[in-house]
Every structure is written in C-alpha cells, then in structure tokens.
Homo-oligomer: A and B are copies of this chain.
Amino acid sequence: MAVLNSIVNGELSKIISIQDRGFNYGDGLFETIALVNQQPVFWNEHYQRLLKGCEVLGIDCPAEQKLKGDIEKLIHLSRNINTAVAKIMVTRGNSERGYQYNDNLVPNVIVSLSAYPSYPSSYWEEGVKVKLCETRLSSQQQLAGIKHLNRLEQVLARNEWQDEYQEGLMANAAGNIIEAVISNVFIIKDNIVQTPLIINAGVNGIMRNIVLKLCKANGIMAVEDKISLEQVLAADEVFLTNSIIGIWPVKHINSQAYILGLITKNIMQFLIEDYSVDYATFSI
C-alpha cells in the first residue's frame, strides 16, 4: 500500500542515510500496527514486542510517547485518516562500514502511514487459499520471535505465487510448519486449538497471542507445540492471524480443503466482542 506520510527521526521525511545499519545489514526491527478510529490497536502489545526486539539486538528503544506522537502527527497530516496501517522501524543507526558498532550510536526511527489494505470480505466469511511454500524458514534461536529486518525468506516465499493464493505456509528444514508469510497459523484437531512454537524461527505475532488469550478466557483448549505438515493437512480447521487481517479462516492449503468450522467462527466472534475490532469491516 502506498505510503501516505512518514516521519524519520522526528521530521517529515522519506529518506534515510545509506550508512543506516538497517539498510546495510537489516540491523533493526519493525512493527506493523492497525490504526482504527485513529487509535493504534494493541499498542501495548506492539510496543512490548519492539522493546523485546531492541533488548535482543542491544538497541535503545525509542520512548513510547515519542512513537505515539509521531503516529498522531501522521494521522493529522493524512487528513485525520480514520483507518490506516502504521509501520514503525527502529534501526541501530548510522555507522561506518563493518559489522561492529559503538554503543553510542543513535537509532534511526521511521514511522510511516499507509492505506489499509483492501481485501474481499470473502476472506473472512469463506476463508482463503494458501500455498505450501517451498522456501523454508531457517532456524536461529537468538532471532526467533522478534520482528527484525532480515526478511529475505519472506520475500522469496511471497514471490512463489502471484494472486492465485492469499497466503503461503512456511515449514522449517525438518518439515515442521512454523508460520505463514505475513501471518501466524493455527490448526484445530479434535476441538484442540494448536499453534506452532516460536522458539527457533518465526515471529511472535501479536494477534497470535491475542487468540491464545481468547481461547483461554473462553474455555477453549489451546496449546503451542511442534506441528508437522501432516498434522496441518489432517486438521479439522485451520486459520491465520495477524495484526492487520485479524483472523482469516483457511479453506484450502494446496489441494487440501478445510471447512470453516464452529471453533474458528467462535474465536472470530470473541475477537470482535472482546476487543471491539471487526477487521472484516475494512474489506472491500
């Protein structure tokens, strides 16, 4: 989606130094946040993940109020847009050539607003078609969970298809499913909700954790576990989650068909009721 406006280090800008370490090495983090009624949805959860990512990489995390202030300024500049996507990027800052860095680097902070993506309402009502990607996710315990800027595997995976699918499922080298390209994945088998453990690969999704909470709060058994491709293919229901789409039921993975079952429908309803956000209303 086209960038509406952007702020770089507190100033309206669309540029960054070629010495930025995010640019050179992917040495930084990002968050993609839904803005609904001009409010960042699940702000605290996003900020906590950014904090955690900064801690892992040893980057000074920008103050919460600074980031929120940038978002407010961008909303104002974008004709008080109601619904949009905010992307926050925090890199280690500019440095000379070389992987080494000094502790005194000043992080670069980029906040931008994009139009909310327009998906057909059928994606929520009927489900989406998912490709089983050939690109594998590599395992790297130190980087698992955080939303860092090394995203070549996602780029390769996303470009395995054009518009014939809506998402792509990614496995690790051992053949276990970890996540989808832009979302986390859940399966339901015998009334138990399961989602892959994010300990060696994958992003610890905000909506993933919201769904786990919703299950717990509503008496649905939900577990994080190792999940093989075979388990996914044998599941009763499958759905995907992220901060922009909320929950998408899956109707196909390659040639395997799934029903849009009751448990998925219930969780989708809990999300609307408990958090007052109906992502399907942003559809076209």
Contacts and interface: CB of A to CB of B under 8 A. Distances in A.
A23 interface: yes
Contacts of A132: none
How many copies of this chain are found per oligomer? Answer: 2
Given A14-B17, A58-B159, A148-B152, A97 B110 contact: no
Instruction: Give the bracket for the number of chain A residues in contact with chain B.
Output: 35 or more
A87 interface: yes
Interface string A82-107: 00010101001000111111000000
Contacts of A97: 1, 3, 32, 85, 87, 114
B25 A99 contact: no
Most buried by B among A8, A21, A22: A22
Contacts of A140: 136, 138, 153
Contacts of A117: 98
Nearest to A30: B24
B25 A151 contact: yes
Interface string A109-142: 0101010010000000000000000011011111
A150 B117 CA distance: 27
A220 B284 CA distance: 67
A24 B152 contact: no
A18 B18 contact: no
A96 B1 contact: yes
A6 B18 contact: yes
Contacts of A19: 3, 14
A24 B139 contact: no
A182 B1 CA distance: 37
A250 B163 CA distance: 52
A262 interface: no
A149 B26 contact: yes
Nearest to A110: B18
A261 B23 CA distance: 40
A180 to B, nearest CB: 11
